[in-house]
Structure 1
Amino acid sequence: MLKLRRRFMGALAAAAAVMPLAAPAPASAQSAPSTLKVALHSDLKIIDPIWTSALITTNHGYMVYDTLFAVDDKLEVKPQMVDKWEVSPDKLTYTLTLRDGLEWHDGKPVTAEDCVASIKRWGARDAMGQKLMAVTSDLTAPDDKTIKFVLKQPYGLLLYSLGKPGSNVPFMMPKSVASTDPNSQITDATGSGPFIFKKDEWKPGEKAVYVKNPKYKPRPEPASGFAGGKVPKVDRIEWVWIPDTQTQVNALLGGEIDLVEMVPADLLPLLKKEKSVKVFVGNKAGRQYTMRFNVLHKPFDNAKVRLAALYALDQKEFLDANVGDPEYYKVCNSLFPCGSPLESTKGWEDKLSGNAAKAKQLLQEAGYDGTPVVMLHQTDVAGHNNLATVAKPQLEKAGFKVDLQPMDWQTLVARRAKKDAPSAGGWNVFFTSWGAVDVINPAAAAFLNASCEKATFGWPCDAEMEKLRDAYAAESDPAKQKEIAEKVQLRVLEYPTHVPLGQFTSPTAVRSNVSGMVFAPTLAMWGLEKK
Structure 2
Amino acid sequence: MPHDAFLPGLCASLSKRSLLGAGLLALLCAVAPAQAQAPRNYATLAMVAEPQTLDPMASTADLVGTIMQHVYETLYTFDGKWNVVPMLAESMPKISADGKSYAITLRKGVMLHNGRELNADDVVASLQRWIEQSPRGKAVGKEIDSLKAKGPLNVELVLKEPYAPLLAQLALPSGMAAIMAKDSIAQPLTNFVGTGPYKFKERKPDQYVLLTRFDKYSARKEPASGYGGKREAAIEELRFVPVPNASTRVEGALAGQYDYADLLPVEALPRLEKSGGKTVPIMTPAFGFPYLVFNTREGVAASQPERQAIQTALGEGEMLAAGFGDNRFFVAEGNHFPKGSPFYSTAGTELYNQRNAPKAKEMAAKAGYKGEPIRVLTSRQYDFHYNMALLMAEQLKRAGFKVQLDVVDWATLVQRRNDPKLWDIYVTHSGQFPEPMLSPPQLGDDAPGWWNTPAKKAALQAFNLESDPARRGALWGKVQQVVYDEVPYVNVGKFNGLSAKSPALDNYQPATWPFFWNARIK
| TM-score, scaled relative to structure 1 | 0.86
Q: Is the 8 A contact 2:58 2:134 kept in 1?
A: no
2:476 to 470, 482, 485: 485
2:155 to 147, 163, 182: 147
Bigger relative CO (Cα 8 Å, ≥ 6 apart)? 1
Structure 2 residue 443 is the aligned partner of structure 1 residue 449: yes
Match of 1:259 in 2: 260
Match of 2:44 in 1: 37
User: Does the residue aligned with 1:67 lie in a helix, a strand or coil?
Assistant: coil
User: What residue ranges of structure 1 are gaps of 5+ in the alignment?
Assistant: 1-29
Match of 2:386 in 1: 385
User: Does the residue aligned with 1:507 lie in a helix, a strand or coil?
Assistant: strand
User: Does the residue aligned with 2:437 lie in a helix, a strand or coil?
Assistant: coil
Task: Give the 3 Å change call, closer, same or farther, for CA 154–489 of structure 1 in structure 2.
Answer: closer
Match of 1:232 in 2: 233
User: Does the residue aligned with 1:309 lie in a helix, a strand or coil?
Assistant: helix
Deviates more, 1:376-385 or 1:332-341: 332-341
Cα RMSD (Å) of the superposition?
Answer: 2.2
Shift of 1:177: 4.6
Distance 1:466 1:231 in 2: 43
Structure 2 residue 193 is the aligned partner of structure 1 residue 190: yes
Structure 2 residue 428 is the aligned partner of structure 1 residue 432: yes
5 Å matches for 1:34-433? 34-84=41-91, 85-124=93-132, 129-130=137-138, 132-165=140-173, 167-178=174-185, 180=187, 185-199=188-202, 202-273=203-274, 274-282=276-284, 284-337=285-338, 340-419=341-420, 421=421, 426-433=422-429
User: Does the residue aligned with 1:383 lie in a helix, a strand or coil?
Assistant: helix
Shift of 1:175: 2.5
Amino acid at match of 2:61: A
Shift of 1:87: 2.9
Structure 2 residue 507 is the aligned partner of structure 1 residue 516: yes
Shift of 1:494: 3.0
Shift of 1:504: 0.6
Distance 2:340 2:283 in 1: 17
Q: Is the 8 A contact 1:377 1:405 kept in 2?
A: yes
Match of 1:497 in 2: 488
Q: Is the 8 A contact 1:286 1:505 kept in 2?
A: yes
Q: How many residues align?
A: 484
Match of 2:454 in 1: 463
Match of 2:14 in 1: none
Q: Is the 8 A contact 1:442 1:448 kept in 2?
A: no
Distance 1:526 1:414 in 2: 30
Distance 2:39 2:111 in 1: 25
Shift of 1:125: 5.6
Amino acid at match of 1:139: L
Amino acid at match of 1:430: Y
Shift of 1:103: 2.3
Over alpha carbons, which structure has the higher Rg?
2
Deviates more, 1:118-127 or 1:65-74: 118-127
Q: Is the 8 A contact 1:517 1:528 kept in 2?
A: yes
Task: Give the 3 Å change call, closer, same or farther, for CA 83–254 of structure 1 in structure 2.
Answer: same
Distance 1:338 1:315 in 2: 19
Shift of 1:468: 1.3
Q: Is the 8 A contact 1:69 1:162 kept in 2?
A: yes
Distance 2:240 2:81 in 1: 28
Distance 2:502 2:39 in 1: 19
Task: Give the 3 Å change call, closer, same or farther, for CA 211–443 of structure 1 in structure 2.
Answer: same
Distance 1:32 1:95 in 2: 47
Deviates more, 1:142-151 or 1:428-437: 142-151
Shift of 1:432: 0.5
String of CA shifts for 1:268-311, please: whole Å, max 9, x gaps: 111112223222223x2221001111112121110011111111
Distance 1:390 1:107 in 2: 53
User: What residue ranges of structure 2 are gaps of 5+ in the alignment?
Assistant: 1-36
Q: Is the 8 A contact 2:253 2:259 kept in 1?
A: yes
Distance 2:485 2:58 in 1: 29
Distance 2:133 2:319 in 1: 30
Distance 2:475 2:340 in 1: 18
Q: Is the 8 A contact 2:312 2:359 kept in 1?
A: yes
Q: Is the 8 A contact 2:351 2:484 kept in 1?
A: no
Task: Give the 3 Å change call, closer, same or farther, for CA 336–361 of structure 1 in structure 2.
Answer: farther
String of CA shifts for 1:196-223, please: whole Å, max 9, x gaps: 1223xx2222222111111111111122
Shift of 1:339: 5.2
Q: Is the 8 A contact 1:53 1:168 kept in 2?
A: yes
Task: Give the 3 Å change call, closer, same or farther, for CA 372–177 of structure 1 in structure 2.
Answer: farther
User: Does the residue aligned with 1:443 lie in a helix, a strand or coil?
Assistant: helix
Shift of 1:131: 5.3
Task: Give the 3 Å change call, closer, same or farther, for CA 310–340 of structure 1 in structure 2.
Answer: farther
Amino acid at match of 2:277: K
Shift of 1:316: 1.7
Deviates more, 1:271-280 or 1:68-77: 271-280
Q: Is the 8 A contact 1:373 1:402 kept in 2?
A: yes
Task: Give the 3 Å change call, closer, same or farther, for CA 441–146 of structure 1 in structure 2.
Answer: closer
Shift of 1:179: 5.7
Shift of 1:463: 2.3
Identity of counterpart residues, as a percentage? 30
User: Does the residue aligned with 2:492 lie in a helix, a strand or coil?
Assistant: strand
